[in-house]
Amino acid sequence: MLAIDDIHVSYGRLRALKGISLTVAKGEIVCLIGPNGAGKSTTLAAVAGGVAATKGHIRLEGKDLAGTRPEAIARMGVSLVPEGRHVFGTLSVAENLRVGTYMRADRGAVAADIERVLAMFPRLRERIASPAGRLSGGEQQMLVIARALLTKPRLLLVDEPSLGLAPKIVDQVYEILLEARKQEGLTLLINEQSSHRILKHADRIYVIRNGHIQLAGAAADLADGEAIKRAYFGFGEAASSDANEEEDAA
Amino acid sequence: MAPVSKSTPHASMLRRYWPLAALCAILTVLVGVGSLIGSDQLQVTLTEMLIRLIVVVGIYTFIGNAGILSFGHIGFMCVGAYAAAWATVDPTWKQMMLTGLPDFLQQNQYGFLPAVAGAAVLAGLVALVIGAAIMRLSGIAGSIATFALLAIVNSVYSNWESVTAATSSIIGVPAVVGPWVAWMFAIGALVLAYVFQVSRFGLMLRASRDDEVAAKSSGVNVVRMRLIAFVVSAMIVGVAGALYAHFLGILTADTFYLSMTFVTLAMLVVGGVGSLFGAVAGVIVVTVIVEVLRHIEAGVPLGGITIQIPQGSQEIGLGIAMALILIFRPAGLTRGNEIAFPFGRAARRKRKAAAS
């Protein structure tokens, strides 16, 4: 469904991505893990059209996304849940959800979909008339995911859903994402900093560090976590990033 | 919102449009009382206030929803005022003074309503062309660009001798606008602004104001939404310009420059940029403050002695009032709230809590 081929992204002189390639098949849950500043968020932003790749291609079902504006990519069925709970603070919960539905062609199904999403998130129904800015962190994260689901995405990009949330809430968030995948046939590409929770849910895992893919594999093969730990921290191999670059070139 | 509210469609319509209905009622009472008891001076003040209200409501339609401060809207007031005057001034005068006007304007004299419509259309067109460029800018860059727009409009209109009569004024504009005419247009402006605000366009725009990244990832075309709001608001302000021309009866470009920009933005900030109620409240409060100070400047007899404050106290007083409001209520008098629906369940609960 999604194929990223050797993309490079720079912020000014800072090179954030130095040749990332990865694929996501329809219906898969793929997870990017890596430390802060590894390039995970940049990778998702590049897919959603928020930053432009200086080199390489991003293809969605074969179509090159280069030069496509973020809102157009969203209309192609790619929804980004950005890191840091981007709710529309002065709008009510109900209005936040409605904004998620405006780009859809099937207006008739909207009311039923809102009802279904509210059934997934009973907490949001209780706060339906409150301004989103007054919700708790966990509630805001749920609202952002609910709003993203209402855009009827085929590919949902989720940037660090567990950041700053209590473990119990994080479990709820994952339950809902998995449930949404079952119900809507959603494909998921998720960023996380920590690996143990994601190993349970993901089909495949990429470890990113310093703008490179360090490790790729099926979650089942990496289940003991040792290989991930090595790739994540750079143990056991020539630890400098120059050495990594040579490895990649080879 | 259909799946949430359990009330009947009529009740939810009433709830949805309550803030608008309340504002219209306040305005109607104000003008009704004013014209019953009113001296001529009061009629003039009332008319001017209503015209400014239309300007502020127009500016609010853009600033409030898009979250971008605009210094340029008085430029659209200028465009609207001149457009309407071109239509209604006596053709013999136009042929003598405004030799650069196109024939259909120079040779004919149009009625007041077509002139107002023309003002709205021209202001909207200018906004569409200019806005297509500057709506791509966010934040302060966009604001500065609107200020440049104001300066450009002002220098064009104060120098284009054959079309605007430049520094000599356009005279003989029929002064047909009184309180009730202004009231009618003010109600129209309120309805348009409110309907836009609660429409899907208004909602998408307010979403982009709160969070541009998230709005884009929800598929909102932020630039297009801003442009729509810019054009709608310019049309409202353009209509206000036409009314102002037909209130003053005489036109110079400098009427529509920095001091008008300052007063109208002050009104909006005092009332609160975040709601239509804020726009209306700001206009009324600032007008009252200015009028009271002006009366005392002129001298008020009080039991034998006359109380009088020095000339210029008006501006200082307004400045102090603004500072106080911004210190104690940075989000304006209304804090971005609309007038609350007084009959709902939430209101009843609140009243009960207050009683116990």
Number of helical H runs and strand E runs in chain A: 10, 10
Tens-place pLDDT, residues B281-315:
999 999 998 888 888 888 788 777 887 888 878 88
Give the pairing type, strands B300-302 and B305-307.
antiparallel
Q: Residue-wise over B26-54: b if at least 16 C-beta within 10 A, else e? A: ebeebbeebeeeeeeeebebbbbbbbbbb
Residue of B nearest to A114 (CA): B3
Residue of B nearest to A103 (CA): B219
Q: Which of A34-48, B230-244, B305-319 has the lowest mean pLDDT?
A: B305-319
d(CA A43, CA A66): 14
> Would the ipTM clear 0.90, i.e. be above it?
no
Whether chain B has a CB inside 8 Å of the CB on A91: the answer is: yes
pLDDT (average), residues B215-229: 92
Of B210, B218, B274, the CB nearest to A100: B218
Of A94, A102, A125, the CB nearest to B204: A102
User: Residue B319's pLDDT band (boundaries 50, 70, 90)?
Assistant: confident
**Cross-chain residue pair A94–B211, CB shorter than 8 Å:** no
* pLDDT > 90: percent of chain A: 34
Mutation site, B200, B217, B275, interface A, largest A CB count within 10 A: B217
Token reading at B345? 């369940």
Tens-place pLDDT, residues A99-126:
989 888 888 888 888 998 898 888 999 9
Tens-place pLDDT, residues B169-190:
888 888 888 899 999 999 999 9
Contact of A68 with A49, CB cutoff 8 Å: yes
* pLDDT > 70: percent of chain A: 94
Considering the entire predicted model, what is its pTM?
0.86
Number of helical H runs and strand E runs in chain B: 16, 4
Q: What is the DSSP letter of B253?
A: G
Examine the pLDDT at B326 and tell me if it is beyond 80: yes
Examine the pLDDT at A249 and tell me if it is beyond 50: no
Name residue A114's amino acid.
Answer: I
Residue with tokens 């120079």: B106
Q: How far is B3 from chain A (nearest CA, A)?
A: 6
CB pairs under 8 A between A and B: 88
Per-residue pLDDT at A38: 87
Examine the pLDDT at B355 and tell me if it is beyond 50: yes
Burial (CB count within 10 angstroms: exposed 0-12, middle 13-18, buried 19+), residue B351: exposed
pLDDT (average), residues A26-54: 90
Per-residue pLDDT at A121: 87
Residue A14, helix vs strand vs coil: strand
d(CA A37, CA A16): 8
Q: Who contacts B245 (Cβ-Cβ below 8 Å, separation ≥6)?
A: B81, B82, B84, B85, B173, B251
- Which CATH number describes the domain made up of A2-249? 3.40.50.300
Tens-place pLDDT, residues A201-246:
889 999 998 888 988 888 878 777 777 878 877 765 544 444 444 4
Examine the pLDDT at B89 and tell me if it is beyond 60: yes
CA A68, A69, A70, A76 torsion-angle sign: negative
Mutation site, A41, A42, A47, A71, interface B, largest B CB count within 10 A: A71
CA A29 to chain centre: 10
Q: How far is B201 from chain A (nearest CA, A)?
A: 9
